[in-house]
Amino acid sequence: QQPVQSPQAVILREGEDAVINCSSSKALYSVHWYRQKHGEAPVFLMILLKGGEQKGHDKISASFNEKKQQSSLYLTASQLSYSGTYFCGTEGGSARQLTFGSGTQLTVLP
């Protein structure tokens, strides 16, 4: 079952912050975050394993609430290079497969 991402789209000015949410109706083993530029392959950002850990990557961080089956991606002081579509991928349930949400389109304006 596909995770649900919100919002569908975000427009920011450089330097502003954004939060992208991902939720699932089933218990999760892990949550993956990827960024895809138009016409390119998705690029890995980070993985969060069950245990509620938070990870960081430069000014991009994420949290995983295992009990709520939710993850959030935090983009701090956004840069123009952050523009793209962000996908969360979840692994859970009986089928060990990585299922992606429909994506959040992030646009950072100068």
Partner 1 sequence: DSGVTQTPKHLITATGQRVTLRCSPRSGDLSVYWYQQSLDQGLQFLIQYYNGEERAKGNILERFSAQQFPDLHSELNLSSLELGDSALYFCASSGLRDSLNTEAFFGQGTRLTVV
- Does 98 engage in binding with partner 1 (CB under 8 A)? yes
> Of these, 23, 87, 106, 108, which contacts partner 1 (CB under 8 A)?
87
Structure tokens at 48: 């969060």
Q: Please list every residue from 22 through 41 that binds partner 1, using CB under 8 A.
A: 29-30, 32, 34, 40-41
Contact 25, 109 (CB under 8 A): no
What does each C-alpha distance from 109 to 43, 56, 79, 102 come to in angstroms?
21, 23, 9, 23
Spatial separation of the C-alpha atoms in residues 25 and 8, rounded to whole Å: 18
Does 12 contact partner 1 by CB under 8 A?
A: no
What span, in angstroms and rounded, lies between the C-alpha atoms of 16 and 77? 5
| Residues forming beta bridges with residue 11, ordered by sequence position | 107
Instruction: Tell me the per-residue interface mask from 37 to 76 with partner 1, x by CB under 8 A, - otherwise.
Output: ---xxxxx--x-x---------------------------
The answer to whether 95 contacts partner 1 (rule: CB under 8 A) is: yes
Query: Which stretches of the chain bind partner 1, using CB under 8 A?
Result: 2, 29-30, 32, 34, 40-44, 47, 49, 87, 89, 91, 95-103
